[in-house]
A = this chain, B = another copy of it.
Amino acid sequence: MVDILHRVGIKAPASEVYAALTTTDGLAGWWTTDTRDIGDDVIAFRFGAGGFDMKVLELQPDRRVLWEVVEGPKEWIGTHVVWDLDRADDQTIILFRHEGWAEPVEFMHHCSTKWALFLMSLKSLVETGTGAPDPHDVKIDNWN
């Protein structure tokens, strides 16, 4: 099993970062504008080329959010997306892991870079009020 790892620091209280990870408006502001709560603790994220359904497995206010991918590309099914929040130097530090990939396929390389840009979108949303969610996201390669 292999994991995607990232770290960003956001100049805002943990509560504001947590809200951007746990509310439909927040999520729609940095990941994809087409974000919907479809019940049973599942959030549907849709992009031009497809999307993901995330089951929310754990919520620790201002500390941790944990999702399991229950629908999406086959490489994503069953993987976990973990958001750990901490405070350092007046920033909220996100330690991000998308863990449990079966193989380090080329698609995983792509997703690693996209996650970095979406984390920067989240940072921008919380710090400035403006993120870059799909379809306004930063394009990185021929896959998007």
**A positions within 8 Å CB-CB of B:** 2-9, 88-89, 91, 93, 95-97, 104, 106, 108-110, 112-113, 116-117, 119-120, 123, 138, 140-143
8 Å CB contact of A117 from B88, B108, B116: B116
Known: A8-B140, A141-B7. A112 touches B116 (CB 8 A): yes
Q: Which residues of B contact A95 (CB under 8 A)?
A: 106, 109
What would 25 A/B residue contacts be, using CB atoms closer than 8 Å? A2-B2, A4-B112, A5-B109, A5-B112, A6-B109, A6-B113, A7-B109, A7-B110, A7-B113, A7-B140, A8-B141, A9-B141, A9-B143, A89-B142, A91-B141, A91-B142, A93-B141, A96-B109, A97-B109, A113-B116, A113-B119, A116-B117, A120-B138, A120-B140, A123-B140
Copies in the complex: 2
Contact A108 B141 (CB under 8 A): no
